[in-house]
Amino acid sequence: MPLRRILVVGGGVAGFSAVRELRERGYDGELTLLSPEGLPYDRPPLSKGYLLGTEDAQKIRLVPEAWYAEHGVGLVPERASALRPSEGAVELSGGRLVPADRVLLATGSTPRRLGVAGGDTALTLRTRADADALRTALAPGARVAVVGAGLIGSEVASAAVVLGAEATLIDPVVPPLVPAVGRALAERLQGMHAERGVRTSVSVPVEITDDGGRRLVRLADGSAVEADVVVAGIGVVPETSLAEKSGLAADDGILVDAAGTTSNPAVFAAGDATRLRRPDGTLARRSEHWEAAVRSGQAAAAGLLGEAPPTFGAPWFWSDRHGVHVEAVGTLDERQAPDGRTVVRFVDGVPQAAFLLAADGRLLGCAVVDLPLMVRAARRIIDRGLVPDPAALSDPSADPRKLAR
């Protein structure tokens, strides 16, 4: 039976990328995108320009509204409440049944809650509504305690001080992000917090108390941080409830292959909600980055159409905080490079790029602060399996453009 009706559940960048890729691959049947938050938008700005107020809701839309009609995509602002494979349909939260030959679950993730007494009072940041609430709270003079100094927590703390609030970052790991960007850059980034007026506290919360409007984040080291608002940026939990209710295999993520196939051949999944099961049965770590969501949406579009998914190169992410642009491609995690080594490029004594080299000299990863051409060169070096000259990598006068050629 030809494939005539595809329903995509979830209007984040994974679901949107799948929809777009389906049309680019020539699928001309019915295509419905369930997007409970309405017109799909891009989430990375929520902790950056949107939070700072330099980008508005219109600016962060993935595409203008007219795009959906132009591409024959039915945009439905509802949730799916159940998959009904025996009826070839999906039930929406309003009770309506939408027929579908194949379904793509791109249900995303939700912020991990702070599991201590009073932890439910902490704000989290995932949706535009979350960002709106947080922006209101980040008023000049407000005292903000941010739990978790990873990418989102650091971006929120950075935005807070720009907006005139006082920020304290709480994290037990100093510096954080060593596996993501290498130790040299992680230390540089950690040092920027103090330079920009963000206090850091090396501990973990044990309790949040609210005593007549005086909110205290009590820490394991016995100290306490007084705050008007507490924000938790401690990771996300994949949204697998619809999948699990429908009997799909899941284990900290809906289990999929490289084409997004789940344990039900009529149901595919993509994005933050998923976890890759490799051909040998082992499970990969979930990826929570933007580019990975785009790619998995594209791969699942291929899978939905019974086509081979594209092969993708080394993964990439970026972060913006304290006025610098941080990027990394591949991995900087030395545990993944036995007998490998890390090479650092310094400019005027400041680390600007870090490279992880395998024992055989191949490049495994590169992280940079404000050195965009280097990470683009590195991506090509990695994907082409080239063996770069370590001296050139660390030489601040070596043009990145020449390194990948």
276: left (phi over 0), alpha (psi -120 to 50) or beta: beta
316 is a contact residue toward other proteins (CB under 8 A): yes
CA distances from 130 to 123, 125, 143, 209, 326 (A): 8, 5, 18, 22, 24
CA distance 332 to 356: 5
57 is a contact residue toward other proteins (CB under 8 A): no
CB 359 within 8 A of CB 339: yes
41 is a contact residue toward other proteins (CB under 8 A): no
Q: With CB under 8 A as the contact rule, which of the stretches 113-121, 150-158, 206-214, 287-295 interacts with other proteins?
A: 287-295
H or E segment and range at residue 70? helix 66-70
Nearest residue (CB) to other proteins, 39 versus 133? 39
Nearest residue (CB) to other proteins, 277 versus 379? 379
75 is a contact residue toward other proteins (CB under 8 A): no
177 is a contact residue toward other proteins (CB under 8 A): no
CA distance 75 to 94: 15
Size of interface with other proteins, in residues (CB under 8 A): 21
Which of 84, 128, 325, 362 forms a contact with other proteins (CB under 8 A)? 325
Give 119's Cβ-side CA count (13 Å radius): 16
401 is a contact residue toward other proteins (CB under 8 A): yes
Which of 9, 12, 15, 17 forms a contact with other proteins (CB under 8 A)? 17
Residues 6+ apart with CB under 8 A from 377: 400, 401, 403, 404
Which of 318, 351, 354, 366 forms a contact with other proteins (CB under 8 A)? 318
42 is a contact residue toward other proteins (CB under 8 A): yes
160 is a contact residue toward other proteins (CB under 8 A): no
CA distance 72 to 29: 9
Nearest residue (CB) to other proteins, 49 versus 172? 49
328 is a contact residue toward other proteins (CB under 8 A): no
23 is a contact residue toward other proteins (CB under 8 A): no
The one-letter amino acid code at 174 reads V
Q: How many Cβ atoms sit within 10 Å of the Cβ of residue 185?
A: 25
CA distances from 359 to 317, 337, 338, 341 (A): 24, 7, 7, 7
Q: How far is the CB of 42 from other proteins (least distance, A)?
A: 6
Nearest residue (CB) to other proteins, 44 versus 153? 44
Q: Within the chain, what is the greatest distance between any pair of CA atoms? A: 66
- Listed residue (300, 299, 260, 296) closest to 277, CA to CA: 260
Nearest residue (CB) to other proteins, 98 versus 294? 294
Q: Which residues pair with 224 in a beta bridge?
A: 218
Which of 3, 39, 63, 386 forms a contact with other proteins (CB under 8 A)? 63
Nearest residue (CB) to other proteins, 104 versus 294? 294
Nearest residue (CB) to other proteins, 44 versus 205? 44
Nearest residue (CB) to other proteins, 145 versus 326? 326
355 is a contact residue toward other proteins (CB under 8 A): no
Quote the radius of gyration of the chain (alpha carbons, Å).
Answer: 22
Q: How far is the CB of 75 from other proteins (least distance, A)?
A: 15
166-170/224-227 β-pairing: unpaired
Contacts 24+ apart (CB under 8 A), 279-283: 283/251, 283/255
373 is a contact residue toward other proteins (CB under 8 A): yes
CB 374 within 8 A of CB 400: yes
CB 315 within 8 A of CB 291: yes
377 is a contact residue toward other proteins (CB under 8 A): yes
392 is a contact residue toward other proteins (CB under 8 A): no
Which of 29, 313, 372, 396 forms a contact with other proteins (CB under 8 A)? 372
Nearest residue (CB) to other proteins, 201 versus 331? 331
62 is a contact residue toward other proteins (CB under 8 A): yes
H or E segment and range at residue 380? helix 372-383
Nearest residue (CB) to other proteins, 62 versus 167? 62
Q: Which residues in this chain contact other proteins in the complex, by CB under 8 A?
A: 13, 17, 42, 44, 49, 55, 62-63, 67, 290-291, 294, 316, 318, 325, 372-373, 376-377, 380, 401
